[in-house]
């Protein structure tokens, strides 16, 4: 894709500040809920101009995000502001924003229960009514070539459908999409809760010798929308 002329992107300093503050709050919530530790994972939010995002740089933990260390990049992954090292996740974040005009924020974490399912090569089953209603199917995106981390070209096609709100990355983590950071945050929280419940469900069913315990109806989401 040809690069945009970054001089044509009109950035609003006040908008950048507001989005940075919102991102810091979301990052700290993820950290406090133990959805992400150390400097892994990433999160980003689209700016009002629609042509750029605020994103966490590489090497900065969720609990260490500040107004001064967050970066601004365009949707081709070109850094517009910030002195840190661009995250390796920048490419797939930018790719999702290009493909999904409805997405205003992305939260990517390595939450243990959800990542456990992904590391086992299993999709998280929609084990609760809330998961069916709020998220729907949660696709599992396989590892990249030679067992490496997923690339933008592996991730973006799996979430191009506007009905997809979440995905898991094999042996890697989870992705939540939303119109706002709060929306995307709630998605990854629900993924982690569902993964935990689904594991307990499977364990209890096995312990009791139960087979084919029914899951919530796949059509529930459509029924409630009527």
Q: What is the pLDDT of residues 75-100, one digit of tens each?
A: 999 999 988 899 999 999 999 999 99
Residue 220 has pLDDT above 60, yes or no: no
Cα Rg of the chain (Å, integer): 18
| Global model pTM greater than 0.85 | yes
The number of C-alpha atoms within 13 Å of 159 and in the hemisphere containing its C-beta is: 32
CA atoms of 125 and 198, how far apart (whole Å): 7
In sequence order, which ranges of the chain are alpha helices (DSSP H)?
13-32, 90-99, 112-119, 129-134, 152-159, 181-207, 220-225
φ, ψ for residue 176 (rounded to 5)? -120, 135
Residue ranges with strand state E in 50-159: 52-55, 71-74, 79-81, 105-109, 140-141
Identify the architecture of domain 6-225 in CATH: 3-Layer(aba) Sandwich (3.40)
Compute the mean pLDDT over every residue in the chain, rounded to the nearest whole number.
91
How many other C-beta atoms are found inside a 10 Å radius of the C-beta of residue 157? 12
CB 143 within 8 A of CB 170: yes
Residue 153 has pLDDT above 50, yes or no: yes
CB 176 within 8 A of CB 114: no
CA atoms of 47 and 12, how far apart (whole Å): 9
pLDDT at 68: 95
**Lowest-pLDDT range, 130-139, 188-197, 208-217?**
208-217
Residue position matching structure tokens 């991102």: 23
Percent of the chain whose pLDDT exceeds 70: 92
């Amino acid at each position: 894709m040809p690069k945009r002329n970054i001089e044509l992107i009109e950035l609003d300093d006040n908008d950048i500040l507001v989005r940075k503050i919102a991102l810091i709050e979301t990052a700290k919530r993820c950290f406090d809920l133990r959805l992400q530790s150390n400097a892994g994972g990433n999160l980003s939010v689209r700016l009002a101009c629609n042509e750029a995002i605020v994103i966490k740089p590489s090497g900065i933990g969720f609990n260490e995000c500040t107004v001064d260390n967050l970066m601004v990049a365009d949707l081709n992954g070109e850094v517009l502001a910030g002195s840190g090292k661009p995250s390796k996740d920048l490419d797939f974040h930018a790719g999702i924003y290009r493909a999904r005009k409805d997405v205003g924020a992305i939260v990517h974490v390595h939450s243990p229960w959800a990542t456990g399912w992904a590391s086992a090569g299993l999709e998280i089953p929609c084990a609760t009514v809330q998961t069916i209603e709020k998220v729907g199917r949660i696709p599992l995106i396989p590892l990249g070539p030679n067992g490496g981390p997923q690339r933008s070209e592996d991730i973006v096609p799996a979430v191009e459908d506007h009905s997809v709100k979440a995905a898991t990355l094999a042996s890697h983590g989870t992705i939540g999409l939303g119109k706002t950071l709060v929306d995307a945050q709630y998605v990854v929280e629900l993924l982690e809760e569902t993964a935990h419940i689904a594991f307990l469900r499977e364990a209890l069913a096995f312990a009791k010798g139960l087979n084919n315990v029914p899951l919530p109806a796949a059509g529930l989401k459509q029924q409630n929308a009527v």
